[in-house]
Amino acid sequence: MPECETLVSELSRPRVQGRFPAPAYGGASLPNLAVSAYLHAGGKPFPGMLPPLDARHGPRPDPEGTTQVVFLVDSFGWKMFLDLLREPPGETGRKVASGLARFTRPITSVFPPTTSSALLSLSTGAAPGTHGIVGYTEYFPGWGAILNTLKLSPPWAKVPDLAAGKRFTAADWVPVPNLFTRRTGSVALTKAEFQGSAFTRVLYDGAEFVGYLGLSDLVHQLLRVLGAPAERRPPLVWVYWDLLDSVNHVYGPEPRFAQEELTHLLLALASVARQLPSATGRKIHLWITGDHGQVPVRPEGSHAVHDDATLLGLLDRPPAGERRAAFLKAREGRKEDLRRHLTETYPKGWTVLDVEEVIRLGLVGPGPLHPELPSRLGDLLVLPGEGETLYARPPGDRGPEEHFLWGTHGGLTPQELLVALTSLPLAELADWPL
């Protein structure tokens, strides 16, 4: 795959302190993919729209105006795709890998490469700095609190949606309209248990929600949605699958899980393609991608903020963001003391950046930027070294982690930032010799 090797080299080129790559918002990232799908589904350009996907990273759908299916496999990183190619599970896996290789290119996720930021970038076509959700947890001045951005509740809360009152709307959380309100008649397929949650409403406002119970039900629902007569077939279909991410968190990003999971998903999609008329499949374009990759972490590399009294004394509030990309707010006048403590106390492989530099380098996007962004992010960004994390637990919940995550993400390494993008007509899957 010489062309892919060239693209990976370009996307992995160090742009941050000579060490880290950056999201390719100019035409090779998740929000660019979203814009491409939206435009090919007949959507109209809008002010501030990011450019569509560069043709080198995603072949142009043909014909124009076809139904666009964006299938996001949580944790489908570029390395996992390579693992499938190198060691496919059995003869069926070999055929799946061979078919995928012809249609797959690398792109980048967003920063931080994490589910809430990436999914919102995919549904809005905007970078995190524009829609304002920059990490798994984030400080929100309007609520005066750090909130879990997937559950819309404080990180310590067991109950979701505590920050979403009776009058809560998508615009309260993300001021950027999503693509489904701009291109009506669209459909979102995700797990049935997500229906009605505040985050689901923010993501898919304007789209018809279709829930599925498992892989067989997903096949059934896709056949129902995509098999509708042409005049009633939705222009945009967004699909979300989360189980690959779950097993990678529990076991670490081990190739055997990615291989089995991706093989079964592709077999299911091939089943959909074969059960639809060939003429219908040719009018449906499929994009399969991920929101991030994962890296393995070590228990001895997990650093707890509550174990460092000096660090706690320098912080104005608990860390937010990611375990692999923590945003810190210093007490008044203590920013340089905080920086000094981090550089002198923590391992040499750690990187500390000013939030102003994060914004200047375009890590969270080219703009326009959310007006609250600087106050949401704080003063410093900490990127722990290989296999390491920085995490916080609330008072009363201290001690060894009960559920250690052997795989995680959110940092700026190529393994976390680069994801796979498969682009092909759905009918193509029907012809694979599976």
Neighbours of 123 (CB within 10 A): 30
Q: Specify the DSSP element, H or E, that contains 139.
A: strand 137-140
Cis peptide before 277 (omega within 30 of 0): no
Is the distance from CB of 291 to CB of 420 less than 8 angstroms?
no
List the Cα angle 388/394/396 in 5-degree steps.
120
CA distance 294 to 312: 28
Contact 232, 208 (CB under 8 A): no
Catalogue all structural domains in the chain, each as residue range(s) with its CATH number. 2-295+415-430 (3.40.720.10), 299-410 (3.30.1360.180)
Residue closest to 315 by CA, chosen among 299, 337, 295, 293: 337
Q: From first to last of its 434 residues, what are the pLDDT tens digits of the chain?
A: 778 899 999 999 999 999 999 999 999 999 999 999 999 999 999 998 999 999 888 766 655 668 999 999 999 999 999 988 888 888 888 888 888 888 999 999 999 999 999 999 999 999 999 999 999 999 999 999 999 999 999 998 989 999 999 899 999 999 999 999 999 999 999 999 999 999 999 999 999 999 999 999 999 999 999 999 999 999 999 999 999 999 999 898 988 888 888 889 999 999 999 999 999 999 999 999 999 999 999 999 999 998 899 999 999 999 999 999 999 999 999 999 999 999 999 999 999 999 999 999 999 999 899 999 999 999 999 999 999 999 988 776 655 455 688 999 999 999 999 999 999 999 999 987 76
Q: Is the peptide bond before 112 cis (omega within 30 degrees of 0)?
A: yes
Cα(154)–Cα(7) distance, integer angstroms:
40
> Which pLDDT score is estimated for 261?
86
pLDDT attached to residue 63: 56
Q: Which of 24, 40, 170, 202 is nearest to 107 (CA)?
A: 24
